[in-house]
Amino acid sequence: MTVELGLSADQEAIAELFDGFFAKESPVSVARAAEPLGFDRDLWGKVVELGAPGMGSAESAGGGGASLSDLVLVAEAVGRSIAPVPLVDHLAALGVLDDPDLVAGDALAGVAVRPADADGVWRLVPVGAVTDVVVGVDGDDLVAVRSAPPMAAPLNHGSAPLADRSARQGDRRVLGPAAAFQPVLDRWKVLTAASLVGISEAALRMGVEYVMAREQFGVPIGSFQSVQHGLADLPVLIDGGRMLTHKAAWALDRAEPAADDWRLNDIEDGSTLASMAFLFTSEGAAEATHRSLHYHGGYGFSEEYDIQLLYRRARGWSLVLGDPADEHLQLADRLFGPVEA
Amino acid sequence: MDFSLTAENLAYRDRVRAIVAETVTPDVVDRMHTTGTFNSPELNLALARAGLVERAVPGLGKGDPIELYILFNELEKAGAPFDGLAIALMIAGVVQAVGTDEQKQRILPTITSGEALVCMGYSEPDNGSDLANIKTRAVRDGDEWVINGAKMWTTMAHEASWVILLTRTDPELPPRRGLTMFILPMDTPGITVDPVHTMATERTNATYYDDVRVGDEAVLGAVNGGWATMMVALSFERGVMGGTNPGVALLRHFADWAAESGLVESPTCRERLARMAIDNHVATLLTQRSAWIAASGGQAGLEGSITKVFAVEAYQKAARWCQEMAGPAGLLQFHQPGAAAGGFVDYDARHSPVTTIYGGTTEINRNNIAERHLGLPKAR
Ligand SMILES: Cc1cc2nc3c(=O)[nH]c(=O)nc-3n(C[C@H](O)[C@H](O)[C@H](O)COP(=O)(O)OP(=O)(O)OC[C@H]3O[C@@H](n4cnc5c(N)ncnc54)[C@H](O)[C@@H]3O)c2cc1C
């Protein structure tokens, strides 16, 4: 046997640990209570006790030395519970940061996924409202800036702790050239993709549970074939997205560079795969949460039911990067070569 | 997870690629589309002579089980005529799984040598998705069985040496329990083959069985155990033997044409090419998963349904996009001057509709996912 597409025993243990942890500590009611900011300090404290913030950092820096392939399992668990903690962004940022307080989780880090504007401001940083350090591109440089987080966010679709953050004011460190940001962004895309797979799966479970319980015309609505088929499409998107995300993590974990040959569908480059995984799971999560909401009927639209929390986050967590059409075009450049200007 | 192929896998893949490059010439591809017979004796023989076929037969092969996936993935990506070989190997796998020693000795070498093809007689004029209710009868007469009935869509029947035939042996039993599978030579007296032409280039057949007499040596699996044999066959069909990566050749044909024609500069075109590349890769990964499950001793029936539902709908979407983007040139067929991608755009737009129908329709696969994966009740 060669190809190994199952989880290792260690990975099974990681998945079980984090799924168990979030199921217990962060049922959906916790995310609901954390609205509108989308951050629960107590829950973060428990995440810190678990050692999760530094899990992917080097052991020499006091971290757990986990691979990105392992972190994917953590991110999926975060997604499944829509836990109101910026763990995905923190783990991504720690790809280039190893400050002891960040590794310990006493301070939080986030990623400015889009470069700073001309005024040196990173607009709508995904978890910028609550993180002490933000890493991102400012001009030609990759920089990390430590400053006091605003702890308030503009009201937004996914109840995410979005905020503008300065790339110039605060304790600013230049980490390298702007190009050094690519690995951080790749990590962010892969971990976000994993969290979107998690959210999709949670939406599917919620949908299946609902259609088995809800009766119309004297039978569970889950016995209607059109409802079944609408839900049967979702494992297709979930499994496909999960495989692609795992492959992206595997490719990024491998140190060796690898080339793509789209003509033969041999895609091995980590950045290409990260982009693919992010795009595919973004659409998948939008579809899964929407379908599940739809099969809840009017209740799905009501604030009281949980599916709307998932629906809004599926969009909120992915659209912070920008119009997916742009990401598709960048992927096209990567695969087919850029168009001459 | 580890997505890497071993050095040995890569060597196997390179040997397949080399043989494809040598034997699947433009003439061979053209012949496939002109005759409608998606089979290439030269290719089958070349693969068999290189020893690449026998080692890939499910359950029989001495090679790494992942080789079966590699073989058909390479053939499909290349746009090679592989249906004949795929059906033959699938049935070789069934014979290996449920056949008697005598059947294995008599039948398998004819297939693994790359010479004999097999056709599948399951569907009938009045029963496609509802296979459990097929009507073709096999009746005991002394030491023999007498078979009467009609099958529809018996692809490759006009070239095949063997037919695997689903019959009803006991009409008194509940539908699934009164079925028996046979495997018999196509030159057995009483079999006739009529061509059925399709709206794409592919040809299939209607086959008729009039007082066809065979002995017990033709019974494949248990008498009245035909449904179980059928399930083994379907688990291969929905697995890894092609059919889940049709978009790769389409993307290659179309992107090359888009580059030549300048269409590739359009952002709409580029976005769609990127989407096609993503879907193609997802389809491959899902197929790899089925291969890995099969290689680890499991049956990838459900995962096969998931893969097929995804892959063929993505392919249909892509074929439609390509035809729209190509404009009128996308309406022109093979050999017509100015045809987009040499006629492949038109071809894929005509061919793609069948992919949600044959090999188990998308609805049947969704039923399967809903019931077996989601645990929903039997649909109403
Ligand atoms: C080119 C080609 C090659 C083929 N090759 C072979 C072959 O080699 N051997 C062989 O045995 N067969 C072969 N087939 C037959 C193929 O497997 C059948 O066409 C297929 O199983 C569908 O059966 P049907 O055509 O009778 O459609 P039907 O079963 O009549 O279905 C018609 C429509 O109704 C839908 N439907 C049916 N039942 C349900 C349900 N329970 N719930 C929801 N929707 C439903 C179907 O999804 C479909 O959309 C081939 C077909 C084609 C077109």
What's the full length of chain A, in residues?
341
Report the pLDDT averaged over residues A158-171.
Answer: 98
Measured between beta carbons, which residues in chain B are less than 8 angstroms from residue A222?
A: 376-377
Task: For residue B2, give the DSSP letter.
Answer: B
Residue B2 lies in a domain: no
Cβ(A194)–Cβ(A151) below 8 Å: no
Q: Are residues B214 and B340 in the same domain?
A: no
Q: Are strands B203-214 and B191-197 parallel, antiparallel or unpaired?
A: antiparallel
Q: What is the pLDDT of residues A220-233, one digit of tens each?
A: 999 999 999 999 99
Helical ranges in B24-168 per DSSP H: 26-35, 41-49, 66-77, 83-98, 101-112
Report the pLDDT averaged over residues A36-51.
Answer: 98
Residue B129 lies in a domain: yes
pLDDT for A112 beyond 90: yes
For the entire predicted model, the pTM comes to 0.96
Residue B70 lies in a domain: yes
A2–B1 CB contact, under 8 Å:
no
Q: How far is the CA of B237 from the centre of ligand 1 (A)?
A: 14
pLDDT in tens for each of the 380 residues of chain B? Answer: 999 989 999 999 999 999 999 999 999 999 999 999 999 999 999 999 999 998 888 777 777 778 889 999 999 999 999 999 999 999 999 999 999 999 999 999 999 999 999 999 999 999 999 999 999 999 999 999 999 999 999 999 999 999 999 999 999 999 999 999 999 999 999 999 999 999 999 999 999 999 999 999 999 999 999 999 998 888 777 677 888 999 999 999 999 999 999 999 999 999 999 999 999 999 999 999 998 888 787 878 899 999 999 999 999 999 999 999 999 999 999 999 999 999 999 999 999 999 999 989 999 999 999 999 999 998 87
Residue B102 lies in a domain: yes
Burial B59-74 (b: 16+ CB within 10 A, else e): ebbebbbbbbbbbbbb
**Domain map of chain A by residue range?**
183-336
Question: Helices A225-253 and B301-326: crossing angle, nearest 10°?
Answer: 90
pLDDT for A124 beyond 70: yes
Domain final residue pick, B58, B93, B117: B117
Residue B379 lies in a domain: no
Q: Are residues B129 and B185 in the same domain?
A: yes
What's the full length of chain B, in residues?
380
Q: What is the pLDDT of residues A136-153, one digit of tens each?
A: 999 999 999 999 999 999
Q: What is the pLDDT of residues A61-91, one digit of tens each?
A: 999 999 999 999 999 999 999 999 999 999 9
Boundaries of domain holding B354: 238-372
* Of the partner residues B6, B248, B377, the one whose CB lies closest to the CB of residue A222: B377
Residues with C-beta less than 6 Å from any ligand 1 atom: B 120-123, 128-129, 153-155, 198, 202, 204, 354, 357-358, 361, 363-364, 367
Measured between beta carbons, which residues in chain B are less than 8 angstroms from residue A194?
A: none
Q: Are residues B291 and B362 in the same domain?
A: yes
pLDDT value of residue B127 = 97
B380–A263 CB contact, under 8 Å:
no
Cα radius of gyration rounded to whole Å, chain A: 20
Q: Are residues B111 and B129 in the same domain?
A: no
Instruction: Tell me the torsion sign for CA atoms B11, B17, B21, B22.
Output: positive
Residue B288 lies in a domain: yes
pLDDT for A122 beyond 90: yes
Q: Are residues B91 and B199 in the same domain?
A: no
- Alpha-carbon span B107 to B30, nearest angstrom: 31
Q: Are residues B166 and B188 in the same domain?
A: yes
* Of the partner residues A265, A273, A325, the one whose CB lies closest to the CB of residue B271: A325
Confidence label for A1 from pLDDT (cuts 50, 70 and 90): very low
Q: Are residues B111 and B123 in the same domain?
A: no
Instruction: Indicate which CATH number applies to the domain containing B140.
Output: 2.40.110.10
Fold of A183-336: Butyryl-CoA Dehydrogenase, subunit A; domain 3 (1.20.140)
Q: Give the C-alpha distances (Å, rounded to integers) separating B326 from A127, A136, B273, B346.
A: 43, 41, 13, 10
pLDDT value of residue B377 = 94
pLDDT for A341 beyond 60: no
pLDDT value of residue A2 = 67
Nearest residue of B to residue A73 by CA position? B1
A262–B255 CB contact, under 8 Å:
yes
pLDDT for A244 beyond 90: yes
Choose the mutation target among B2, B264, B272, B305 for the interface with A, i.e. most A CBs under 10 Å: B2
Nearest residue of A to residue B374 by CA position? A208
Residue B243 lies in a domain: yes
Q: Are residues B213 and B247 in the same domain?
A: no
Q: Are residues B218 and B242 in the same domain?
A: no
Q: Are residues B128 and B192 in the same domain?
A: yes
Distance of alpha carbon B216 from the chain centroid: 28
Report the pLDDT averaged over residues A100-111.
Answer: 98
Residue B229 lies in a domain: no
* Of the partner residues B5, B248, B376, the one whose CB lies closest to the CB of residue A265: B248
- Alpha-carbon span A67 to A137, nearest angstrom: 24
Instruction: Indicate which CATH number applies to the domain containing B257.
Output: 1.20.140.10
Number of structural domains (chain B) is 3
Q: Are residues B153 and B110 in the same domain?
A: no
Nearest residue of B to residue A225 by CA position? B379
pLDDT value of residue A314 = 98
Task: Find, among A126, A84, A132, A137, the residue nearest to A109 by Cα.
Answer: A132
Measured between beta carbons, which residues in chain B are less than 8 angstroms from residue A237?
A: 310
Q: How far is the CA of B151 from the centre of ligand 1 (A)?
A: 13
Helical ranges in B238-266 per DSSP H: 247-261
The dihedral over CA atoms of B76, B82, B87, B88, expressed in degrees to the nearest 10, equals: -130
* Of the partner residues A243, A250, A335, the one whose CB lies closest to the CB of residue B2: A250
A208 touches chain B (CB under 8 A): yes
Substitution candidate for ligand 1 out of B124, B159, B361 with most atoms within 8 A of CB: B361
Q: Are residues B28 and B59 in the same domain?
A: yes
